[in-house]
Amino acid sequence: MKPAFWLEAWENGRRGFHMEQPNPDLVEYASRFPKGSVLVPLCGASLDLGWLAERGYHAIGVELSPIAVAELVERHGLQPGRDRGGLEVVEGQGITVLMGDFFTLQPEHVGPLSFIWDRAALVALHPSQRQDYVSLQRELMGPETGLLLNVLNYDKSKLDGPPWAVTREDVAA
């Protein structure tokens, strides 16, 4: 998907992907990972960032939409931080949000990670973008970095995303 699609979705209030509570899978499985920094790609205005911070993790969200970032700033009292290689930064108690294109991230933007929480990023990306996305995740991960992946699978003949279906075979590949 082109960035303009998601920016327009935020501008027009199309937020069917937004949850009004922390993701139940994160709540169930996060404790399996050691405390440390957690990368949340394409985070939107997710309540997951605050939930992670409240439990002693450092949540690092990456988001393209200024509207979503403004919501996070208001909800968490985030303040402007230093620009990180072309990414605008807002941060506060246990939360850092990098505003910009996820595909421009470099390992030095995020530092060592405990795990990556992909709450809906893989399903938001067109299948043609998956390999680049996974390759970048691998660059960002250290030898001890875990991955908590939340995907959606459905009959592709009934819907042609987004969200894009991700099968077990897709995950294995």
CA distance 9 to 65: 9
Give the rounded percent of residues in the chain with a pLDDT score beyond 90.
68
The dihedral built from the CA positions of residue 138, 57, 100 and 106, taken in this order, carries a sign that is negative
Query: In sequence order, which residues have a C-beta less than 8 Å from that of residue 14 and are 6 or more positions away?
Result: 8
Q: How many CA atoms lie within 13 A of 32 on its CB side?
A: 12
The CB density around residue 43, as the number of other CB atoms within 10 Å, is 27
CA distance 168 to 65: 30
Taking all residues of the chain, what is their mean pLDDT, rounded to a whole number? 90
| Mean per-residue pLDDT, 52-75 | 95
**Could you report the per-residue pLDDT of 15-51, keeping only the tens digit for each?**
666 678 999 999 999 999 999 999 999 999 999 999 9
Nearest CA-CA partner of 96 in 107, 106, 104, 87? 87
Residue 20 has φ and ψ, to the nearest 5°, of -90, 15
Give pLDDT, residue 100: 93
| Mean per-residue pLDDT, 70-98 | 93
Confidence of residue 10 (pLDDT cuts 50, 70, 90): low
Is residue 59 classed as helix, strand or coil in its secondary structure?
Answer: strand
Helix (H) or strand (E) holding 114: none
Q: Is 94 left (phi over 0), alpha (psi -120 to 50) or beta?
A: left
Confidence of residue 65 (pLDDT cuts 50, 70, 90): very high
Is residue 16 classed as helix, strand or coil in its secondary structure?
Answer: coil
